[in-house]
Each structure stands twice: as structure tokens, then as C-alpha cells.
Amino acid sequence: MTKRVLTTESGAPVADNQNSATAGVGGPLLLQDQHLLEKLARFNRERIPERVVHARGSGAYGYFEVTDDVTGFTRADFLSAVGKRTETFIRFSTVADSLGGADAVRDPRGFALKFYTDEGNYDLVGNNTPVFFIKDPIKFPDFIHSQKRDPFTGRQEPDNVWDFWAHAPEATHQVTWLMGDRGIPASYRHMNGYGSHTYQWTNAAGEAFFVKYHFKTNQGVRSLSSEQAAELAGKDNSSHQTDLLQAIERGTNPSWTLYVQVMPAAEAADYRFNPFDLTKVWPHSDYPLQRVGRLVLDRNPDNVFAEVEQAAFSPNNFVPGIGPSPDKMLQGRLFAYADAHRYRLGVNHTQLPVNAPRTAVVDNYGRDGLHATRNGARHDKNYEPNSYAGPAQTDAALSAPLAIHGWTGTHAAPAHTKDDDFFQAGELYRLMSEDEKGRLVANIAGGLSQVTRDDVIEKNLAHFHAADADYGKRVEEAVRALRED
């Protein structure tokens, strides 16, 4: 076998990779040692800015296979026939901590999925919870600041966490999810995934439906107690990454079954609560789960940085037959996600292998910028319209138009007959067993009891009382007992 030759970035062979060039034996280094300078300079630039949220993640390739006919709801090509397979890439992540944080922590998990369809990439960006803490994107930076490390102490502060939630009663539902048994998944394989937001599907006849995505794990839901998680995080900081990597390497390919809830668009306006409110779920009794297909992960990335850290998911990457809804949080993320990637990875991040379409042809007038690899041929024009047979619009909308009315301005969310910040949190609590309720109360009290301001504690207790009288009473008693110790 021919021996491979080590080269510089320009392709020149490297004569010595063990010793720097010096002025005589034992003398000072020489500025002319191009290999040394290039090597150190490149090393200094190996890291890019980490994600502000979802910084710590793991990923894998796989495929999505359609198992049920959903063409009555959407004309999306990758969902057009039973048995059709589409290559996918998924990135799991924690939300609040930095790239150096532990996997086994109490935190929502990102569940971001890229479908490499024949009509372009479709990105579905969700979490392992069907709801979220807030319903308006203008509050998102403040929410994340309250959950991340304090600028002075350099650690997550209960005062900040609970003070924000005290002023965000709509967070009570998600707090109940987070502090409950599913708050710390045993692994990425043993948790469900949700699109969380409401999306729009449009069929071939132009009929519009609103949908919610549910990926149910076929491994079964397994979670960790706070004590188990602390022990595991101490043993293996990368426990979830280790589990995912090893499962796929040994051929135990994790899978999920995708279901959707489907609401005819005409029913949204008169539904009993705002169906586009990210802090609420649609009861299955109103809109039952309908099976769509299965997601299987069967290949690990060859390079975590190139494929997991440089993976860019943007919820504005739609394909024909799928589009946005009036969900305000989704609307904000349509801009924010893509903009974050332009900052972290550059304007041409879509040309990186993990982000580039597999079969769809990219043909537009985007040019130049850092790391441009697709700038067109000699006679290609960079403007449109033109007289040179350049790519032209299709005049076919990806999804159905959304009707709007009213005055511009900053408006509170529209009120429906049953809109309420606490009812669904109470419903979730009442579904729990006595053991689950006990662990939930203990988890909440453990954090809330550390808050130094009595008024912040009282505001949070009021939220739990409003959700369920027993819920509030038990949390209040547990907090009081911990503070008296």
C-alpha cells in the first residue's frame, strides 16, 4: 500500500512534523517556518461560536419511511406513497447549558430533524415536550437569559430561573412537564419527539389543515430520577452521546413512529382555546393521533464537528405541501434559526455537506460570501429576471395562504372561550400517579426553595394553586419544609 504523504494546506509535502525550524540548534524559532505558523493559526481557529441555545448535541443519519396514506392532507412528495423512504439527519440536544455541559440534566431536549427530500430539504425543529414555556418570541431572549449562567456568578441561579417563571404564568404547563418524571430522559433513544408548533399541510386540491407532529419512541419512554442523573453525569458527562453512538454501532437502530393530529383549517378560529398557542396541547379526544410513518436511525456521523455542530436546522425550510401557521413562536423562529446559522457558520452554510440537499438541485442567484462553493458558470447571470434562461419562479405556492384581518400593532394573544394559562398544567398533574406527583413536587420544591425573594416564591406558588388545589398545596408545604430546615 502506498504510504500517504503529510502535506500543508496548500498541498506541499511536510518534511518534519516533529521539530520546529530554529536559528541553529537550540536557537529561537524562525518566522519562515510556514508549516508551524499555519498549524498554530489553524488550531487557534478550530472552534466556532457555539449555539446560544441547544449548544450540546448529538446526531445521527437515518431514513423516514411512509407507512400510511396521508395524501388527503398534504401534497408533500416525500409523504406521497406508502413505502417511500427519505434520508434524514437528526440532532438531539439539551437547551440551556453550554457545549461543555452534561447530558444527564433536567432540561428539555431538542429534536431537530432534516428530511433530504426530492423537492429540497424539509427541517422540522422541535423538542421532547409538546409545549414550551412562552407563547411570544419577544420574550425568548429574556427567558433564555434567565435559564443560562448568571453574568456575575457564572452559574445557573434559582433566583433568575424562578423569577422569570413568576412573571410568565403561561410557563406553568411546561414547568410541570420539566419537573415531572420525563424531565430527564434516560437516553435520546428513550424519549418522544414533538414538532411542538402547529404547522400547515395543504393537499393537492388546495385544502388546508393544521397539524401537530408526534414522534413516539419504539424503545419505550425511560427517564432518570434526579439522583440517578447526578450519578450518571458524574460517571459519563457524555452519557446520552455514548448511548446513541454505541447503540447504532452495534446495530440496535433506534426508531420512532410518527403520528400527526390534523385540524381542518376552518375549525381553528372557533376552537375553545387558541390552537396556535405553544403552551397548550390539542386533546387527543378532539384530534386523535393518525399514523404517518417511522423514523429509523442507522448511521453515526464520521465527524461530530463537521456533521453535528455544523448541522443547521431552520423551520423556514419548507417543501410544497407544508407551511407555517399563525403560531407566534413559530413565526419568530422562522427568522431566528436561519439568522443564528448565518452568524455561526456563514451565509453559505447551506452548502456544507450535512446541510446540502441530496437529490434536489439548488439553482438560484445567490453569490459570493465567505466559503462560497457554488458561484455559477461563466455565462450565468446573478440577477432575475434575465434573458439568459436562468432559473425562474414556479408561481405555485408551497402552502395555502393564511387569511389575516385587523389593525397592525402589538397585540396580546387572541382570547378563545377556554384560553387559560393553568388548566392544562392541572390536567397533566391529575393524570399522574401518586408517586409521580410526589417526585414532581419534590423537584419543584428543591429549586423554588432556594429562591431568596419571598414575593417570587409566592407568585410561583400562586401558579401551582391555580393549576390544581392539591398541586399548589403540596408544593407550598414542601417549599416551606425545605426553607425551615
Specify the 3-state DSSP secondary structure of 68: coil
For the beta carbon of residue 391, count every other beta carbon within 10 angstroms. 13
Model pLDDT, residue 437: 97
Segment 398-456, tens digit of pLDDT: 898 888 888 878 888 777 877 889 999 999 999 999 999 999 999 999 999 999 999 99
- Determine contact, residues 78/64, Cβ cutoff 8 Å: yes
Catalytic site residue from 35, 54, 240, 341: 54
Q: What is the pTM of this model?
A: 0.94
Q: Known catalytic residue: 127?
A: yes
pLDDT-derived band at 369, boundaries 50, 70, 90: confident
Give the CA dihedral 282, 288, 293, 295, nearest 10 degrees: 40
pLDDT-derived band at 274, boundaries 50, 70, 90: very high
Q: What is the mean pLDDT of residues 175-179?
A: 97
CA distances from 479 to 174, 182, 294, 384 (A): 20, 21, 43, 64
Higher pLDDT, 375 or 82: 82
Sort strands 85-94 and 199-202 into parallel, antiparallel or unpaired.
Answer: unpaired
Q: Roughly how many angstroms between the first and final C-alpha of the chain, as a whole number?
A: 71
Model pLDDT, residue 299: 98
Segment 1-32, tens digit of pLDDT: 889 999 999 899 999 999 999 999 999 999 99
pLDDT-derived band at 364, boundaries 50, 70, 90: confident
- Determine contact, residues 102/233, Cβ cutoff 8 Å: yes
Catalytic site residue from 35, 121, 127, 349: 127
User: To the nearest whole number, what is the mean pLDDT of the chain?
Assistant: 94
Count of H-run helices and E-run strands, the chain:
12, 10
